Amino acid sequence: MTEITYIVNQPVKLSDHFTVPIDNSLWDGKTYNKTKKTWHPLRNRTIKFDDLLIPKTDYSLKHCAFGLYLLFFNDFKKYYVGIACKLAKDPEGILTRLKKHRTKATATYHEGGKSVHHTEQKPYGWQSLAKARYKKYGNEDKLDDCYLVTLSPKDYNNINDYPDEKKKFFYLEKELSQNTNKEFNSLLKVIPGSGFSNEWKSINSTSKGTEHKYKFISN
């Protein structure tokens, strides 16, 4: 069976490496516009897409290209596993994906850039998280409780093309979305105040993907 080695960057506090401009627009903390396919919170557009996360270190240049990433929301014991495929026809890197997830986590309706669909993965998804965050932080949410992990293939020798890349990433995404996964537990232990793994639930959807052996090495 194919084995892929993934380079793992250990958890970092998101706000240590990115400025997260506060969304000062008014919101009732619950309402989304669901009349169109792209759901969004009913609030003003106040932040440009490019400014949703502003790098303040070289972390994004070094580690936010392509691969997988995890976002840990420590205060709520929820996490998200996502993928960013290098071989896609219109590739979208990890940094762009993170900006989209910032809008979902803080229920921000941004200006410019690609539209963001504020999904709700039942029983608890981005909308549930955003509502909980707004209740706790109001308009002062800087994502200070959020920790980020990025993973990237060491090389692409065992990845053939975009469908193969996506399916192998989907498999690892599914594996890491289980709070019993040993690699997930190893990452969680590095996060201050993270508690026990059985308290954590992933908020992402999963697909079966292509099973393969995987090995993690630290950067």
pLDDT at 36: 66
Q: Long-range contacts for 35-42 (Cβ within 8 Å, ≥24 apart)?
A: 37/117, 38/115, 38/116, 38/117, 39/117, 39/118, 39/119, 39/120, 39/127, 40/109, 40/115, 40/116, 40/117, 40/118, 41/107, 41/108, 41/109, 41/118, 41/130, 42/109
The continuous run of DSSP H or E covering 35 comes out as none
pLDDT of 11 reads: 96
Rounded to whole angstroms, the Cα distance separating 54 from 19 reads: 5
Length of the chain: 219
Cis peptide before 123 (omega within 30 of 0): yes
Which tokens in the block code for residue 40?
A: 């969004």
- In order of 16, 41, 138, 152, 212, the CA distances from 83 in angstroms are 22, 24, 29, 10, 16
pLDDT at residue 219 in the model:
79
**Domain boundary assignment for the chain:** 3-218
CB 52 within 8 A of CB 102: yes
- Residue 34's pLDDT is 83
pLDDT, position 53:
97
- The confidence score (pLDDT) of residue 2 equals 82
Do 32 and 131 form a contact (C-beta atoms < 8 A)?
no
Residues of the chain with pLDDT below 50 are none
